[in-house]
Amino acid sequence: MPEPLPAVPARFNIADEFIARRAREHPQRAAVLGSERRATYAELENEVNRVAQALRELGCQPRDRVLIVLPDSIEFIAAFFGTAKIGAIAVPVNSMAREGDYEHYLRDSGARFAIVHVEPYAAVRAAVRSSSLEYTIVAGSAQRIEATYQGVTLRWDDWLPNAADAATAHPTAPTDPAFFLYTSGTGGPARAAVHCHKDMLFTSRGFAQGVLGLRADDRVFSVSKLFFAYGLGNGMYFPLSVGAGTLLYPGRPRPDGIAEFVARHRPTVFFSVPTFYAALLREADNGCRMDFSSVRLAVSAGEALPAEIFKRFRGRFGIEIVDGIGSTEMLHMYIACRPGDARAGSCGVPVPGYEVRILDEHENDVPDGEAGNLWVAGGSMFAEYWNHPELTAIVRKGKWFSTGDKLMRDADGFYHYCGRSDDMIKVSGMWVSPGEVENALLAHPAVAECAVVGRHDGVGLLRPVAFIVLRSDVTAPAGGFDSELNGWLHTRLVGFKCPQEFHFVAELPKTATGKIQRFLLRQTR
């Protein structure tokens, strides 16, 4: 049974819990830090109340959807919690997406309101023709903005009241919808997972406090952005849940820029994804100065952390990376290592408040040491996929959610990620985990990044195929690396797991959240 978490009040609104309550407890403590303007908890509450009041004056009603297309900023936090405070539904999406993406988000969510930064505004403006959008508010240094094809366009500074009353929160229930989060789209069009007001409370208590032990004196920084589930917790409501400060970085993350930011702002807790940890190591190998001496906790999720990256990072910086696994549907982590007990190649044990099962194709429990399908239960589970009742019914079975991930539990009770169900490769009747092959490849001194997928050969048999990004200081020999890598793998893996086909590429296709889009590699010829 999962460890019990405190009960949720009968009336519960996330703006009261994460903003108003913290402002009452420590109004002058710094809430937002980083490269943009700073804000205390009292100042942040005032910004949230200004947005709540302005939305109400525009006629925004409970359960109306408000699309949020903003970089990591005070404006993002104010828009998100200001929307939730009045009982409307916040819909944060990628602020670096394209017109077609915004067409999908607007049409699918049915948003009447959009709060958009000036940089993606042109793409959003071009996407509104077939939507139900009525008002667009443009934030940023917008001296001049063109009207949208439909509705009213307002500037953020003109729209907000100069001062706001202590806006009363709408009397939401814990199970009322609070926000949509779109899945990252590794396998097709993004779907909106509907999350309720209670969900942030469960992940904060279970993972941020129960596993990581976040403290009020922490300075938290997330490379992953606020617009998706992992970053939303890391960079916003996790630090707010304990009265800590969040370091916001609105730009597109680059390893050299993040290294400089970390050295200057000295975070104590650092969140990122495996591909970015690998990029930081490459940058350090190329001579970039990196100072992680302020960091007491480094955390990874988004996809499996290769054991080789874990070992390299610990060897260079003396910091173990606390790996875990979560999903948009469950909002954040449900399995995670514990600080001080992180194991290379393992994503840990269940987070307080969560239950997990590993089942076979007939939904029977599998024994330790065998891979199976991961099902999870916990208080932060999404209510539904918006506009997809049939799919919701497939993946939700009572209190259980089918994650689509393949995991294995070892004899010590630690869980190991084996890949997405559709990423697993069955060769000669035996399962091959792409992660195992990738980790063996990453141990080769010439390999910077890699991905292994299954593709059918000329006679229709499924075989593992490797896509390789070489380190920048490596020059391929005249005969290529194929035979060397093949020989390297055969000293580490049984033969049927070793790819016979290698493709050397400049970069791997990834989502905005850093996940490798393996379905695109399967289509590559």
Question: 230 and 191 in one domain?
Answer: no
Question: 434 and 413 in one domain?
Answer: no
Q: Reduced to 3 states, what is the DSSP secondary structure of residue 103?
A: helix
Residue 5 covered by a domain: no
Question: 118 and 85 in one domain?
Answer: yes
Q: Which of 420, 455, 488 is the last residue of a domain?
A: 420
Query: Are residues 107 and 86 in contact, defined by beta-carbon separation less than 8 angstroms?
Result: no
Strand-pairing partners, residue 139, are 117
Question: 203 and 190 in one domain?
Answer: no
Residue 47 covered by a domain: yes
Question: 212 and 188 in one domain?
Answer: no
Q: Which of 420, 448, 465 is the last residue of a domain?
A: 420
pLDDT at 148: 64
Query: Are residues 77 and 44 in contact, defined by beta-carbon separation less than 8 angstroms?
Result: yes
Question: 467 and 401 in one domain?
Answer: no
CATH number at residue 450: 3.30.300.30
pLDDT at 206: 96
Residue 248 covered by a domain: yes
Residue 191 covered by a domain: yes
Domain count across the chain: 3
Residues in the chain predicted with pLDDT less than 70, given as ranges, are 1-6, 142-144, 146-150, 184-189, 428-431, 458-461, 478-479, 525
pTM of the model: 0.84
> Where in the sequence is the domain holding 107, given as residue range(s)?
14-28+37-196
Q: Reduced to 3 states, what is the DSSP secondary structure of residue 152?
A: strand
Residue 129 covered by a domain: yes
Q: Reduced to 3 states, what is the DSSP secondary structure of residue 82?
A: helix
pLDDT at 430: 66
Residue 4 covered by a domain: no
Strand-pairing partners, residue 117, are 139
pLDDT at 461: 65
Question: 220 and 164 in one domain?
Answer: no
Strand-pairing partners, residue 405, are 420
Residues 6+ apart with CB under 8 A from 378: 2, 202, 206, 330, 334, 351, 353, 354, 355
Q: Which of 196, 219, 238 is the last residue of a domain?
A: 196
Question: 444 and 410 in one domain?
Answer: no
Q: What is the pLDDT of residues 493-512, one digit of tens each?
A: 878 889 989 999 999 998 77
CATH number at residue 110: 3.40.50.980
Question: 439 and 302 in one domain?
Answer: no
Residue 306 covered by a domain: yes
Pairing of strands 372-378, 400-409: antiparallel
Question: 246 and 174 in one domain?
Answer: no
Q: For residue 301, give both structure tokens.
A: 């999720």
Question: 437 and 370 in one domain?
Answer: no
Number of other CB atoms surrounding residue 443 within 10 Å: 16
pLDDT at 186: 47
> Left (φ > 0), alpha (ψ -120 to 50) or beta: where does 519 sit?
alpha
Report the distance separating Cα 42 and Cα 459, nearest Å: 67
pLDDT at 100: 85
Residue 7 covered by a domain: no
Question: 470 and 371 in one domain?
Answer: no
Q: What is the pLDDT of residues 148-164, one digit of tens each?
A: 666 789 999 999 998 77
Nearest to 199 by CA among 169, 173, 160: 173
Residues 6+ apart with CB under 8 A from 431: 371, 418, 424, 425
CATH number at residue 270: 3.40.50.12780
Radius of gyration of the chain (CA): 23
DSSP state of 278: H
